[in-house]
């Protein structure tokens, strides 16, 4: 989408009739020049609709640079109104005037009940986040040396969760002045700065998430109608349908919203996107849609165990704490497999399991190897061919046609800087400090050769994320969740072996490992969840009636 269109979507002017619809939800306030209405790094209190005067959106990280000014009919506020995240942009009154203030809780109600305003607000919040991502403005500043594993993990977390950030490398002289202006000491420091004052030293993704409010304060003791574990395509679809059907829906994600699909630079076979869509964009759209309907998402939180409780179920979190739900949708998908090469830990900074802009930028102009024979490997090779000098695609089998779509094979074969090496595997990694070359061996001819490689993309399949379910539900011999065995009112192809527990997407035994099928399963499973909840209500009513009689 062009910036002009995004700009129009991000900064609409409300009509008088639309402001009138908002008035019962807020109060009119006088504002004075210099008043800080929203502060970067603080929770977003709500919307400020300007009635008279002007306000400025200010980038605290860049010497209070004014990003934009707003006048009558425009509103200030961002996605944090819906997610509970802290503000990334400060909003300051430039002149005296008046504003209609609508608190965040009321915004959620407006979005749920007034479609005309819901469309405008949700579109604006999503577009504002996209503009921030593009402009690298008003962002979190991550300071940390290139090649540091912890820094890379944090950059990845921010990228995949759509947290706008700028990255400053203490080893890069061009960044020195900016680092100094953030107040960071000299040397290989690793810290995060948000706004002017908010500093985290040696941040982990968990600490960053907690600090910016991405990791929701979950209500202790309350029982959700459905807890969706995993926010890949299947979990996000379940969240959208669950919340839109009025179910109290909580989504728990341990890594990044979007799951495996979020690691794909371009999904070309998802219906409705003839030119393809990046997994990150698809995930962001689904996330905003789920938030719009009132689903609550928390990341990064890891489900460590599933237990039966009188209220229904408890999802025990690895980080501590328990979530209670009347039903569970397991959507934890699968995790990439690692190579069986002992030296891979030494070169961990050059071994990737995703091919998005983040990885591609690191491989610009270099030689890279992609390992794998399925669509994920083919897409990665195609995508990287636009950045890397040369891409070798290693496939252990004698043909790509077994697991890869035909259109991809055609493209790879017609791309000049892609070399397809069939019957071939990587047998050793080399390099003094960083990865420099890889020994590749032809399994048919037994010939080996060492080829230059500065990045290794390993896409050799995945194993199910079901360790947290051991003993809780039936798994098949490969660890995928068995479904469809139950009879009863909530019978469904997605029912696991325990009533009230369902599984969808890649984690389900015998599922089709595709985005569309994961989305389809996540959408339709909600009908069965609904029926299960209805049986609980019926049982509760029958028990109440029984106790009234006795």
Ligand X SMILES: Cc1cc2nc3c(=O)[nH]c(=O)nc-3n(C[C@H](O)[C@H](O)[C@H](O)COP(=O)(O)OP(=O)(O)OC[C@H]3O[C@@H](n4cnc5c(N)ncnc54)[C@H](O)[C@@H]3O)c2cc1C
Cα–Cα distance, 500 to 486 (Å, whole number)? 10
Q: Which of 87, 515, 525, 533 binds ligand X (CB under 6 A)?
A: 515
Q: Does 325 bind ligand X (CB under 6 A)?
A: no
Shortest CB 398 distance to ligand X, Å: 23
Q: How far apart are CA 230 and CA 260, in angstroms?
A: 11
Residue 261 touches ligand X, criterion: CB under 6 A: yes
Cβ closer to ligand X: 97 or 242? 242
Question: Is the Cβ of residue 411 or residue 514 nearer to ligand X in the bound state?
Answer: 514
The whole-angstrom separation of Cα 293 and Cα 542 is: 31
The label of the residue with tokens 């029926």 reads: 531
Kindly state whether residue 9 participates in binding ligand X, applying the rule CB under 6 A.
no
Which residue, 512 or 542, has its beta carbon nearer to ligand X? Answer: 512
Min CB(277)–ligand X separation in Å: 10
Q: How far is the CB of 306 from ligand X (least distance, A)?
A: 10
- Asked whether position 378 contacts ligand X by CB under 6 A, the answer is no
Is 531:519 a contact under the CB 8 Å cutoff? no
Residue 244 CA to residue 247 CA, distance in Å, equals 7
Among 253, 281, 287, 359, binds ligand X (CB under 6 A): 253
118 versus 206: smaller Cβ distance to ligand X: 206
Choices 128-136, 371-379, 386-394, 487-495 (CB under 6 A): range interacting with ligand X: 371-379
The angle, 0 to 180 degrees and rounded to 10, between the axes of the packed helices 233-244 and 515-549 is 40
Looking up tokens 């290139």 gives: 146
- 379 touches ligand X by CB under 6 A: yes
Question: Cβ closer to ligand X: 38 or 371?
Answer: 371
Joined together, the tokens standing for residue 21 give: 């619809």
The Cα–Cα gap between 162 and 460 comes to 26
> Among residues 164 and 230, whose Cβ is nearest to ligand X?
230
Q: Binding string to ligand X for residues 23 to 62, with x set by CB under 6 A, is what?
A: ----------------------------------------
Q: How far is the CB of 315 from ligand X (least distance, A)?
A: 8
- Do 413 and 381 meet the contact criterion of CB atoms below 8 Å apart? no
- Give which of 161, 95, 105, 107 is closest to 133, Cα–Cα: 161
Query: Applying CB under 6 A, which of residues 234, 420, 426, 473 lies at the interface with ligand X?
Result: 234
81, 330, 354, 525: which one binds ligand X (CB under 6 A): 354
Site size with ligand X, rule: CB under 6 A: 39
Identified binder of ligand X from the candidate list 31, 37, 212, 231, rule CB under 6 A? 231
Nearer of residues 429 and 518 to ligand X, judged by Cβ: 518
Nearer to ligand X, 205 or 213 (CB): 205
Binds ligand X by CB under 6 A, chosen from 91, 120, 209, 252: 252
Q: Quickly list H helices, 302-349.
A: none
Q: Provide the minimum distance between the beta carbon of 316 and ligand X in the complex, in angstroms, as a whole number.
A: 10
**Among residues 55, 264, 327, 492, the one that binds ligand X under rule CB under 6 A:** 264
Beta bridge partners of 194: 198
**Cα 28 from chain centroid (whole Å):** 36
Between CA 51 and CA 101 the distance in angstroms is 10
Question: For residue 509, which of 334, 253, 376, 346 has the smallest C-alpha distance?
Answer: 334
Are 238 and 289 spatial neighbours (Cβ–Cβ below 8 Å)?
no
Residue ranges in 440-499 that form contacts with ligand X under rule CB under 6 A: 465, 468
- Is 254 a binding residue for ligand X by CB under 6 A? The answer is yes
Stretch that binds ligand X, among 12-20, 113-121, 227-235, 287-295 (CB under 6 A): 227-235
Describe the chain by its helix, strand, coil percentages, rounded to 5.
35, 25, 40
Given the complex with ligand X, which of 92 and 234 has the nearer CB atom? 234
Distance between CA atoms of 489 and 476, rounded to whole angstroms?
Answer: 24
Instruction: Please say which residue, 8 or 269, places its beta carbon nearer to ligand X.
Output: 269
Pairwise CA distance, residues 164 & 154, whole Å: 12
Q: How many CB atoms lie within 10 A of CB 372?
A: 24
Q: Whole-angstrom Cα distance, residue 116 to residue 240?
A: 19
DSSP single-letter state for residue 277: B
Assess 255 for contact with ligand X (CB under 6 A).
yes
Taking the complex as a whole, how short is the minimal distance between the CB of residue 497 and ligand X, in angstroms? 18
467 versus 489: smaller Cβ distance to ligand X: 467
- CA–CA separation, 313 vs 329, rounded Å? 11
Residue number, 430 or 513, with CB nearest to ligand X: 513
Dihedral through CA 479, CA 483, CA 485, CA 487, nearest 10? 150
**Residue 52's beta-bridge partner residues?**
98
437, 450 contact by CB (below 8 A): yes
Q: Lay out the site mask for ligand X across 268-307 (x = CB under 6 A, - = otherwise).
A: -x--------------------------------xx----
333 lies in the binding site for ligand X (CB under 6 A): yes
Side-chain half-sphere CA neighbours of 417 within 13 A? 16
Residue whose CB is less far from ligand X, 78 or 521: 521
The single residue among 506, 529, 532, 533 that binds ligand X, judged by CB under 6 A, is: 506
Distance CA 202, CA 271 (A): 42
Least distance (Å) from ligand X to the CB of residue 251? 9
**Distance of CA 374 to CAs 118, 410, 513, Å?**
41, 14, 11
Measured from the CB of residue 269, what is the shortest distance to ligand X in angstroms? 5
Minimum gap (Å) between residue 498 Cβ and ligand X: 17
What residues make contact with ligand X under the rule CB under 6 A?
229-235, 252-256, 259-261, 263-264, 267, 269, 302-303, 331-334, 354, 375-376, 379, 465, 468, 505-507, 513-516, 518
């Amino acid at each position: 989408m062009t910036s002009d269109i995004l700009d129009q979507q991000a900064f609409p002017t409300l009509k008088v009739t639309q402001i009138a619809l908002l008035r019962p939800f807020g109060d009119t306030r006088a504002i004075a020049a210099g008043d800080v209405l929203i502060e970067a790094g603080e929770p977003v209190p709500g919307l400020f609709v300007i009635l008279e005067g002007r306000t400025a959106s200010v980038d605290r990280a860049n010497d209070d640079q004014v990003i934009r000014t707003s006048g009558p009919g425009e509103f200030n506020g961002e996605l944090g109104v819906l997610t509970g995240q802290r503000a990334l942009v400060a909003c300051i009154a430039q002149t005296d005037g008046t504003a209609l203030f609508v608190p965040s809780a009321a915004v959620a109600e407006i979005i749920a009940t007034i479609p005309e305003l819901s469309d405008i607000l949700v579109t604006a919040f999503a577009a504002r986040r996209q503009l921030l991502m593009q402009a690298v403005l008003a962002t979190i500043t991550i300071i940390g040396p290139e090649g540091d594993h912890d820094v890379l993990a944090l950059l990845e977390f921010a990228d995949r969760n759509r947290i706008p950030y700028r990255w400053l490398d203490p080893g890069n002289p061009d960044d020195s002045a900016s680092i100094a202006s953030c107040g960071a000491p000299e040397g290989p420091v690793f810290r995060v700065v948000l706004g002017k004052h908010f500093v985290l030293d040696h941040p982990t993704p968990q600490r960053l998430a907690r600090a910016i409010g991405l990791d929701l304060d979950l209500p202790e003791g309350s029982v959700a109608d459905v807890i969706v574990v995993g926010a890949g395509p299947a979990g996000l679809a379940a969240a959208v349908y669950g919340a839109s059907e009025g179910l109290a829906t909580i989504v728990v994600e341990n890594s990044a919203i979007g799951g495996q699909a979020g690691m794909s630079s371009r999904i070309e076979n998802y219906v409705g996107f003839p030119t393809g869509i990046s997994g990150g964009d698809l995930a962001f759209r689904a996330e905003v849609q789920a938030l719009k309907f009132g689903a609550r998402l928390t990341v990064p939180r890891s489900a460590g165990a599933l237990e039966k409780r009188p209220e229904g179920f408890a999802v025990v979190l690895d980080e501590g704490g328990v979530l209670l739900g009347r039903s569970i949708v397991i959507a934890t998908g699968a995790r990439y497999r690692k190579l069986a090469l002992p030296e891979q830990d030494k070169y961990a900074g050059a071994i990737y399991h995703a091919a998005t802009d983040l990885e591609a930028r690191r491989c610009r102009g270099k030689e890279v190897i992609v390992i794998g024979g399925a669509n994920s490997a083919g897409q990665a090779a195609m995508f990287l061919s636009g950045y890397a000098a040369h891409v070798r695609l290693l496939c252990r089998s004698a043909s790509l046609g077994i697991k890869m779509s035909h259109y991809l094979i055609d493209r790879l074969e017609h791309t000049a800087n892609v070399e397809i090496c069939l019957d071939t595997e990587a047998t050793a990694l080399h390099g003094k400090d960083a990865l420099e070359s890889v020994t590749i061996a032809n399994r048919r001819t037994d010939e080996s050769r060492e080829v230059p490689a500065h990045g290794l993309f390993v896409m050799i399949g995945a194993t199910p994320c079901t360790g947290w379910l051991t003993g809780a539900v039936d798994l098949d011999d490969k660890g995928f969740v068995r479904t469809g065995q139950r009879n009863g009112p909530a019978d469904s192809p997605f029912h696991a072996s325990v009533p009230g527990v369902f599984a969808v997407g890649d984690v389900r035994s015998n599922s089709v490992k595709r985005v569309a099928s994961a989305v389809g399963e996540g959408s339709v499973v909600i009908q069965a969840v609904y029926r299960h909840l209805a049986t609980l209500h019926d049982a509760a009513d029958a028990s109440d009636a029984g106790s009234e009689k006795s």
